[in-house]
Structure formats: C-alpha cells, structure tokens
Chains A and B, each alone.
Chain A
C-alpha cells in the first residue's frame, strides 16, 4: 500500500467510527458540541500516532507473551501525557471531556491498530496509518458534534445560528439524541452505498481490541 492510500483508507474506506463501528463510547459521549468532538478527535489522534510509531519501533524487542500489557503501558503513557498537556494548555476542552480523556486508553481503535497494524508494519507506514485513522475518527466526531450542537442548541462551534428562529430540540444534547444521531448517520451511509460500505450487519467481537486474547472472537463472537 502506498502512503496516500494508507491515509485515505482510514478517513473514508475504513473510517473507524462510521464504517468499522469502533470507539462507540467517546463517539456517543463527548459529541455534545462540534468543539468537543474536535478536541476528543485530535487528542485521540495524537495518542494513536505516537503509540503506532513507538509500537512499530519496538515490534522486534517486545516478546510475544507480554505484547498486550506492553502496548497498554505505552498507550496509557501517551494518554497521560496528552491529558497533562490538555490540562495545561486547553483547560476548557479538558473540563468538557473529563473522564473520557483517561478512557482513551481503552479506546478499541488504538489497541486494535497497535495489534493489527503497527506491530506488523514499518514505522513510516504505522505513522501514516495513525494519521489516517486519527483523521477519520476526528472527522466522524466533528460531524456528530456539529449535527447534535446545531439541532440540540441551535448553534455551531459556539456561534448561534438557528437558536433565535425556533426552539432547539434539546434532547439531541442528551443521551438518547446521541444514539439517534449515530443510528441515522449509519443508516445514511447504508443508503448512499446501497448497503455495501458497512460490511458488519451486527456489532460483534471481531474488531474488539481484546480479540487477540479472546478465544471466542475467532469463532465469530460470544453469541
């Protein structure tokens, strides 16, 4: 694969959120506004790129037995660094994302990419994969945040747009609105691609980060 296709792969063809249906927790939880979605996306992207690079560098040193714990330590380290930097230089974003910053550690996209891509590929490829996947994740979260903010509070990026014209549907800012928006987005992609883009018809275990250590994932899930 050349570098460009590595990039576009993550953004469009294998968009982690909209096509692979991964990282659902932050996608639903922090997208109450476009800015929050963007902040979460960029933070996750920073962790993803750094951990992909480090894991690709260390792939020959880390013994297979302690592979997963080593990945987790590396990822947790970068997550804490990103958290500290956010506290110091973007306290508003840090406040808004709260608990979901430390929870980037268990974002299945990051451990999944470490396991499936970075530990098997060259450093440069792993970096580009991280950028592509990170951009795809950021784009999806920004889109979700924009829709929910516009419909739920009549604003976009904090700028009031339709709030004066009619009452915003504030349930879109709450939990049910998050599930609803995500469902509609997935349906829209289904419709536009005539059901071809999203191969998964179910949420399953196959793409879960623990798939490697779970004996059932290979057999098609826990059902």
Chain B
C-alpha cells in the first residue's frame, strides 16, 4: 500500500509529466487558455494513458520480449496508441454521444501527444509490474490534469496584465510556466517524508 502511494504521488507531484519531465508541452501551452477545455483534454488524456498502458504492457511482456524484438517497441506502441484513439472515438460517438460531445473533440490530438507514448515507454524502463504501471499511468495523467488546471487559472489572470511589448503573448506564458514549474520543484523529497521508508 505504502509503495503504491509513493508511486502515485511521485507521478503526480515529484515527477510531474508536464512541469518536470517536459512531456505534453504542446497541449499544456495550447489547451490551457480556458479551464473547461483544460479539464476536458486532461480527462481524455488520463483515459487514453491508462488504456494504452493496459494494452501495451501485455504486448511488451508477452510478445516483444519473448520474441526478442524489443527494437520494434516504438513502432508497435505508436500504432497501438493511434488505433486505440480511433477506436475510443468511434465507440464514444456510437454509444455515448454525450461524452463524445465533451471529450471526443480532444481525442485526435492525443495520438501525437508525447506524454501518452512517453508513459508507455517509461513504465517499461522502470520495470514496474502490471498494476504498478497502471497506477503510474493514472498518476501521470492526474499530474497532467493538475498542471493544466493550475496553469489555466494563472493564464486567465496574466491575460490582462501589462507586460513589456516584447513579452506580450507567448513569452509571458513561458515565463509563467517557468514559475509554476519552480513551485513544483518544492515537491521533490516530500514524498518520502510523507509516506516514510
């Protein structure tokens, strides 16, 4: 249990995918302008991350490793993610149109979101078990949600601020991201203190 908590909270806070590991920066900067789109995007990402991990894990351990074709990992994983995203979109559209309305629009953007491919590869490098991998993927997704929600709140505030002309727009957003990621550095070392050895 304790180990589970450490994996989960490390993924959310200490190794935050967006602010510490630089994965999924495009949606972080692109879809964080409004709170509701930030939440919608993040929920879709959490869902696809966990699903992608659940599918890629058995393929890695049951197929790629025994056949010694680990070098096909990248190509197999990205194809699985692309197919999964398509499948989820079609299913949602057909059976849960309401959910498709709110989340479906973000799905096509997720195939090329490096956070999703990143989490499937990272879990294998970390040698996690199946359940630990799922937990870590979920944590990574929640970390993504946290970063996007926090940042969209900040962006709504900096919108009206008076910056020097050269810093208006994109640079201001980047400097704000820098400060948010600085605050996340404060979490490193905290997890052990909370859950102990």
Contact = CB atoms under 8 A, between A and B. Distances in A.
- B and A form one assembly: yes
Interface of A: 21, 24-25, 28-29, 68-69, 72-73, 76-77, 79-80, 83-84, 99, 102-103, 105-108, 111, 171, 174-180, 182-184, 186-188, 190-191, 195, 198, 200-205, 208-210, 213-216, 221-223
Contacts of A195: 165-166
18 contacts: A72-B79, A76-B75, A80-B75, A99-B122, A102-B117, A108-B26, A175-B182, A175-B185, A176-B178, A183-B170, A183-B177, A186-B174, A201-B169, A202-B33, A208-B30, A208-B109, A210-B109, A222-B105
Nearest to B175: A183
Given A72-B79, A175-B22, A186-B171, 8 more contacts: A29-B21, A69-B82, A103-B114, A106-B113, A183-B170, A183-B175, A203-B26, A205-B109
Contact of B22 (A178, A202, A213): A178
B164 to A, nearest CB: 8
Interface in B165-195: 165-175, 177-179, 181-182, 184-185
B118 A222 contact: no
Q: How large is the interface on B (under 10, 10 to 19, 20 to 34, 35 or more residues)?
A: 35 or more
A197 to B, nearest CB: 11
Given A106-B113, A216-B105, A72 B168 contact: no
Interface of B: 19-26, 29-31, 33-34, 37, 41, 71-75, 78-79, 82, 105-106, 108-109, 111-114, 117-118, 121-122, 125, 164-175, 177-179, 181-182, 184-185
